[in-house]
Amino acid sequence: MKTKKWLTTLGLTSMLVGSLLTGCSGDKEKSVKTASEKNEKVEITLAGWGSSPEESALLKEVLADFEQEHPNIKVKHEVIADQYMDVMKTRLIGGEGPDVFYLDAFEAPGLIQTGALEPLDGYVKKDFDVADFEKPLIKAFQHDGKTYGFPKGYSTLALYYNKKMLAEAGVEVPKTWDELKEASKKLTKGKEVYGFGQNPELARTLFIANSLGGHAVKDNQANFTDPKVVEALQSYVDQHLKDKTAAQPSEVGAGWTGEMFGQGKAAMVIEGNWAIPYLQNTFPNIEFGTAEVPTINGKQGTMAFTVSYVMNSASKKKEAAWELISYLTGKEGMEKWTSKGFELPSRKSVAAKNGFDKDELRSALVAGAPYATVWADDTNLPIIFNNFNNQFVSAYLGERPLDKAMQDAEKQANKEIKNQ
């Protein structure tokens, strides 16, 4: 993921505010009457990135259901295949943004501050039930007491384990990180099979970095040299370099840990909900289970990745746009959208109704939602993310000490933040 230049510079922000002020002119009540009371046909645009054919077909079905229930609203679905956020920001600046669009929690803090997003609190009615959303997920799209998006789904991380390998090694499913490290020793078979497949990047290790009470990100800046952060990450690195019971996918010719696990080159990995259909379809013969991520220092932890539907503040069709958002993130629309398990429902009631909280494979992922660290924290996260990854991998590979790598990463990240 390349470092992106945030739209919080004076020039770009001014352009965004100028375009959205034009779109916001007029009384909201008048727009409501135009769209609904006059019964005129309204076309709104929904933009998002590409997905699998199965997901695309399902979304098409959900949108068709929406149009059937809202005959005066037509939804034009646009798919942006490449450089999604770069394209989106350019369109928003030019006053050509869609009415509704996907927004990853990773990008949310920066875009919210530009004024490009419409606060949604004023549109919410009692029956929408905001309290039904998992709190960490919705918090990612809130700022200064206002909500700018509602999550359409999410995935946490869970421990995936090969049932056959654990049984043959006489190993129980680890519940603590110390148990995971010991289990990995028994499950490792030279360089052919590693006990644990790792992802040495911040998106997968932020909760680990913070597990001993440190803060890898503090006051909107990198804080990688926090002794508690270094200590927590050192244990992760040592499993690879000293114990030699863990490896990253590239070391065994795999593209990601899901593939590494499916090929039988790792007995355990920590992955998201997306790995379930992948493993079932690509490696149908593998017998695997899932469990909550092992605790560290007695504390539960995992990551959560979520995407929200948001409204362009310059949209001239805000009421219709809200009707779409409220349907897609409401109980009815979300139930259908998450019915096939591509994403987990961000609403607790839908997770229960669909049975995901009791599902043999997905219940561990659902259980992690209330205590998850959401992959979004501040406007400088992309800079922090890239500098961490650039330096951390060198320590992971044994090219330099971890504390030195983290010192350089922190220094460079905060320099770039200062010079924005």
Tokens of 169: 């090694």
Q: Specify the pairing of strand 73-80 against strand 42-49.
A: parallel
DSSP 8-state code for residue 330? S
Note whether residue 1 is domain-resident.
Answer: no
State in Å, rounded, how far the first CA of the chain is from the last one.
18
Instruction: Indicate if 264 and 180 belong to the same structural domain.
Output: yes
Instruction: Indicate if 136 and 174 belong to the same structural domain.
Output: no
Per residue of the chain (420 residues), give pLDDT as tens. Answer: 333 333 333 233 333 444 443 344 344 443 444 344 456 799 999 999 988 888 889 999 999 999 999 999 999 999 998 999 999 999 999 999 999 999 999 899 889 999 999 999 999 998 999 999 999 999 999 999 999 999 999 999 999 999 999 999 999 999 999 999 999 999 999 999 999 999 999 999 999 999 999 999 999 899 999 999 999 999 999 999 999 999 999 999 999 999 999 999 999 999 999 999 999 999 999 999 999 999 999 999 999 999 999 999 999 999 999 999 999 999 999 999 998 888 999 999 999 999 999 999 999 999 999 999 887 767 788 899 999 999 999 999 999 999 999 999 999 999 999 998
Instruction: Indicate if 269 and 169 belong to the same structural domain.
Output: yes
Instruction: Indicate if 322 and 260 belong to the same structural domain.
Output: no
Chain-centroid distance of CA 20 in Å reads: 27
Instruction: Indicate if 33 and 141 belong to the same structural domain.
Output: yes
Boundaries of domain holding 188: 156-303+378-418
Task: State how far the Cα of 134 lies from the Cα of 333, in Å rounded to an integer.
Answer: 17
Instruction: Indicate if 186 and 255 belong to the same structural domain.
Output: yes
Instruction: Indicate if 181 and 260 belong to the same structural domain.
Output: yes
Which residues, listed in sequence order, are joined to residue 159 by a DSSP beta bridge? Answer: 270, 291
Question: How many angstroms separate the Cα of 93 from the Cα of each of 2, 49, 96?
Answer: 21, 19, 8
The total number of structural domains that make up the chain: 2
Task: State how far the Cα of 251 lies from the Cα of 246, in Å rounded to an integer.
Answer: 10
* CATH (domain of 183): 3.40.190.10
Sign of the torsion angle spanned by Cα atoms 310, 12, 80, 204: negative
The one-letter amino acid code at 158 reads: A
